[in-house]
Amino acid sequence: MNLTSLISKLHPLERKVLPFLKSEKELLSLVKASGMQEIEVMRALQWLENKDILHLSTETKKVIVLGKNGLKYKEEGMPEKKLLKVLTDKFQSLSEITQKSGLEKEEVDACIGILKRKVGIELQKEKELMLKLGLQGKKILSEGTLEEQFLTKSFPLELEKLTDVEKFSLEELKKRKELVSTEEIRKVTISLTELGKKVIAVKLSTGEVLNRLTPEMLKTGSWKDKEFRAYDIQAQVPSIYSGKTHFVNQAIEYAKQIWLEMGFKEMTGTMVSTSFWCMDALFVPQDHPARTMQDTFFLGGKAEKGKLPAADIIQQVKEAHETGGKSGSSGWKYSWNEEEAKRNVLRTHTTVLTSKTLAQLKDKDLPAKFFAVGKCFRNEAVDWKHHFEFNQTEGIVVDQNADFRHLLGYLRQFFTKMGFPQARFRPSYFPYTEPSLEIDVWHQERQEWVELGGAGMLRPEVVVPLLGKDIPVLAWGPGFDRIILEYYQIKDIRNLYKNDLKLSREVKVWLK
């Protein structure tokens, strides 16, 4: 940008400040010299800095300033000295001394405490309190106290530059009402750049420079004689944020759309469930560690009537746990307890929706494909990668012709659409799937594999009691929050749930 173009874009406040920058290099002195308000000067300096005409450096320091009583005593003298002046070597009554000194009662009371500590007075109790000069009284009268000497200095004083004796005096004065206080002041220093030196060397127009063209100017034609400020398209302006869906919900809605496009129907349900649907129906044994308070949020009370399925399904789930039932396995070989199955929990996974859906399917409904994206809860210790609530995406395919390769195909397709075209699958173990696998996706920017969750084919011990027959059921339930973290480059999972307004405004829109 050439000099003429730059000057044509200067704001009137900038034009007003520039001539004074030849001699003034500090904010307060510039305010005084220009006669402008401090906020106007500061705004002009910031705009000039944005144009690389000058640089601002700010130094913050603590200073000592005098309060109302400090100013009074600096001018009139300390009240304890006034009190000492009316004392003699003989005891006098407090009422007499108060009258002679002309001090307020509160001041006299404060002076007595101070002078007693400094051995400046002696006290004697008769009908009323009696006072006379003490051992140090005359010395204090002639030399003054350290606090009095401190008040003679030129304020404000920089705290860091005080000597040890001055710091002691300051602490003593702080004990007294409205004598001194500590404040933080900001010193702004201005230094011109090479460009700035060229700008202030140019003689600016002394005429009025207008910011806008008014209807009146157009009517009268007076605009022809005016000088207008040029538009500055590089000027910094306040950010304007549009309203939008929370970024987590953007990602969830996108994932739902993918499943719908792939022909799946959505499963929905409440976040509170019985242990039966959340664990027992999924062949999780009642003594499994995941069912303890360490992993599960148990709620008060037990399932109300109607919350458990029909008696025949309960019986088949019971038999699957105890002996394997009609599934062909030997089960877990323990005594299944229906009362334990009635306990209410915050769902630990969206797979609770899978168990309920399977129990409702009829032969006429098959083949069928279902998905869910929802919030789950686990009793986790919260840190940067763990949280007690998280989102999970669930899916099942119930089809006599489905096999393990179909499962891998569905997962690859979903993660490709989510922006992770490279996926790998590792053998794993889950109580309700066999075979089971872990899903990893390749993170291009980090150049590493990121684990996202598990999948597999539901075991007969899950399918037979709920569906009434053994049929292939593909199932998956990876955590969804890690996908969101990777996309938005958020390092701490807690930031998804903090409702950080700044993050919500500035985070990019979900777009794959």
Which whole number is the average pLDDT over 126-148?
Answer: 87
The answer to whether residue 406 is domain-embedded is yes
The answer to whether residue 223 is domain-embedded is no
How far, in Å, are 2, 18, 419 from residue 10 at the CA level?
13, 10, 47
More confident residue, 446 or 354: 354
Whether residue 268 sits in one domain with residue 142: no
What's residue 186's pLDDT? 87
Question: Is residue 305 scored above 60 in pLDDT?
Answer: no
Whether residue 465 sits in one domain with residue 361: yes
Domain boundary among 154, 180, 206: 180
Domain boundary among 135, 153, 180: 180
What's residue 1's pLDDT? 56
Strand partners, 65: 181
For residue range 114-125, what is the model confidence (pLDDT) as tens digits? 889 889 899 988
Whether residue 266 sits in one domain with residue 117: no
Six-digit token string for 229: 């400020």
Question: Is residue 142 scored above 90 in pLDDT?
Answer: no
What is the spatial distance between Cα 29 and Cα 187, in angstroms, rounded to a whole number?
A: 11
Domain boundary among 147, 180, 213: 180
Whether residue 253 sits in one domain with residue 170: no
Which whole number is the average pLDDT over 334-353?
Answer: 91
Whether residue 426 sits in one domain with residue 285: yes
CATH code for the domain in which residue 123 is found: 1.10.10.10
The answer to whether residue 239 is domain-embedded is no
Whether residue 348 sits in one domain with residue 492: yes
Overall domain count for the chain = 2
The answer to whether residue 61 is domain-embedded is no
Question: Is residue 391 scored above 70 in pLDDT?
Answer: yes
Whether residue 256 sits in one domain with residue 176: no
What is the spatial distance between Cα 73 and Cα 4, in angstroms, rounded to a whole number?
A: 58
How far, in Å, are 277, 349, 482 from residue 333 at the CA level?
20, 25, 37
Whether residue 129 sits in one domain with residue 269: no
What's residue 490's pLDDT? 85
The answer to whether residue 261 is domain-embedded is yes
Whether residue 409 sits in one domain with residue 296: yes
For residue range 52-85, what is the model confidence (pLDDT) as tens digits? 999 999 988 899 999 998 898 888 888 888 889 9
Whether residue 386 sits in one domain with residue 262: yes
What's residue 214's pLDDT? 87
Tell me which residue range forms the domain holding 80. Answer: 68-180
The alpha carbon of 312 is separated from its chain's Cα centroid by a whole number of angstroms, namely: 52
More confident residue, 301 or 472: 472
CATH code for the domain in which residue 500 is found: 3.30.930.10
The answer to whether residue 11 is domain-embedded is no
DSSP 245: -
37 in the Ramachandran plot: left (φ > 0), alpha (ψ -120 to 50) or beta? beta
The answer to whether residue 167 is domain-embedded is yes
Question: Is residue 35 scored above 90 in pLDDT?
Answer: yes
What is the spatial distance between Cα 363 and Cα 471, in angstroms, rounded to a whole number?
A: 11
Whether residue 398 sits in one domain with residue 295: yes
What pTM was estimated for this model as a whole?
0.59
Which whole number is the average pLDDT over 150-160?
Answer: 89
Sorting pLDDT into bands at 50, 70 and 90, what band is 293?
low
What's residue 32's pLDDT? 92
Per the CB < 8 A criterion, the answer to whether 25 and 191 are in contact is: yes
For residue range 13-23, what is the model confidence (pLDDT) as tens digits? 999 999 999 99
What is the spatial distance between Cα 491 and Cα 49, in angstroms, rounded to a whole number?
A: 34
Question: Is residue 444 scored above 80 in pLDDT?
Answer: no
Sorting pLDDT into bands at 50, 70 and 90, what band is 213?
confident
pLDDT mean across residues, the chain? 88
What's residue 306's pLDDT? 53
Q: Where are the beta strands (DSSP E) in 356-508?
A: 368-377, 389-398, 423-430, 433-443, 448-458, 473-476
Whether residue 296 sits in one domain with residue 164: no
For residue range 470-498, what is the model confidence (pLDDT) as tens digits? 999 999 988 888 788 878 888 888 888 88
Farthest CA pair distance, the chain: 117
The answer to whether residue 47 is domain-embedded is no
